[in-house]
Structure formats: structure tokens, C-alpha cells
Amino acid sequence: MNKRIIFTKIMFLRCIIADIMFLLSNPNIKETIRQDIYRLLKWNKLYNERKKNIIFLLNYSLLYEISFRSVFYYRMKNFKILRLINEILIKRPKTIEICVEEDIGKGMVIFHNHSVISVRSVGNNFRVGPGVVIGRKGPNKNGIMPHFPTIGNNVYIAPNSTVIGEISIGDNVIIGAGSVVTKDIPSNGVYAGNPAKFIKTLDETSDLWQEIV
């Protein structure tokens, strides 16, 4: 057995608690994590080579795709003790924050390790670039805290963008790099700028469609 295989097996032993949490999860959570991983590795040759071996892909993602750790630990929020133990073995990046009032759908991908994601809810296929900040404004005149933003399906928020306020972003939307969003964004479009403005329509025939599915 060559040294590389031995090293890989030793590394994967760090993931044994994560594997247990995954196997003990309900079918919906398992499918959600599977879709997170498949989308994360969409452009990686391992996606096709090892697609049927979800445990291998889970372990690979945890060890080598560091931002995935934050997504995985968010999904594992019901396994409080096991999750804490696993975080000793596989630390999450401190530069990614995830705060969710309701839920985030399947196929969530965070690229790189610097983002603040505070949302009310998010649909499926949510992709976040580095340096993105999503949050809410401070309390209103009555001292009531507003909700975080609500985000639909198939949304990509590109690097260094800011999304602030109790606003909604529709389905099939790309927010261009460095944009500032403080108002509702309707579905099926590309928006960019400060403040973000409509650039063009986005549909299944667009070259950019693969960025959001």
C-alpha cells in the first residue's frame, strides 16, 4: 500500500464522527447534504468519479473544501454534542458566519472562507462568493428588529457584495461582484452596482445559467 493511500485513510479517520452524524440524520437532511456536496464539487473531477460514494465525498469536502465545514455544521445543528466533538477534530473557519431565522434549502455553496450570511430564509442552489455580507438593519423607531433578507431559489451573490435590510431577492438571480442591495430584487435577472440595478434578463438559455444551478 503506497504512502498516499495510507495518508488519505488516516486523514479520513478524522471524519468518523461526521460520518456518524450523517448516517444518523433523517433522509431529508441526508439528501440536503448530498446536494450541497454535489454542487460544491460540480467542477471537480471527483464529482463524476466518486458520485456514488457519498461518504468519500463528504469526507473529502470536510477535509479539503474548508468553507464546506460551515455548511455541514449548520446542517448538523440538531447533533449538538457530536457536532462540538467533531469541531475539535475538524475546525470550522472562524471567518464564515451563518445565522438563519428559518431555513436554507439544498445545494448551498460558500466559496472561500470570508462571508457573513444572516438570512430569514433561502431557497435551493444558493451560491455565495468571498467577502459577501448579508444582514439586517438596526431596530426601527419602535425598537423592533426587522427580519433578515429573504432569498429565493437559484441565487448567486458574487464576491464582495452587500445585501442589507428586510428585503426579498427572487428566484434565478445573480448579484454582480461588489454590489450593494438594499431594495427588493425581482426574479430572473442579473443585477449589479451600488445601488444594484438591473443589467439583463437571466433564463435557461443564458450563458450565466450554470452559475446558479
Domain ranges of the chain: 1-94, 95-213
CA atoms within 13 A on the CB side of 143: 0
**pLDDT at 4 (0 to 100):** 55
Confirm if 154 and 174 have CB atoms less than 8 A apart: no
| Superfamily of the domain at 95-213 | Hexapeptide repeat proteins (2.160.10.10)
Q: Is 73 helix (H, G, I), strand (E, B) or coil?
A: helix
pTM: 0.90
The runs of H, that is alpha helices, within the chain are 3-13, 16-24, 27-40, 46-49, 54-64, 66-75, 80-89
C-alpha cell at 181: 442591495
Residue that the C-alpha cell 470550522 belongs to: 92
Return per-residue pLDDT of the chain as tens, 213 residues: 455 555 555 677 889 999 999 999 999 999 999 999 999 998 887 777 677 789 989 999 999 999 999 999 999 999 999 999 999 999 999 999 999 999 999 999 999 889 999 999 999 999 999 999 999 988 877 778 889 999 999 999 999 999 999 999 999 999 999 999 999 999 999 999 999 999 999 988 888 898 898
51 alpha carbon, distance to own chain's centre: 20
Residue whose grid cell is 500500500: 1
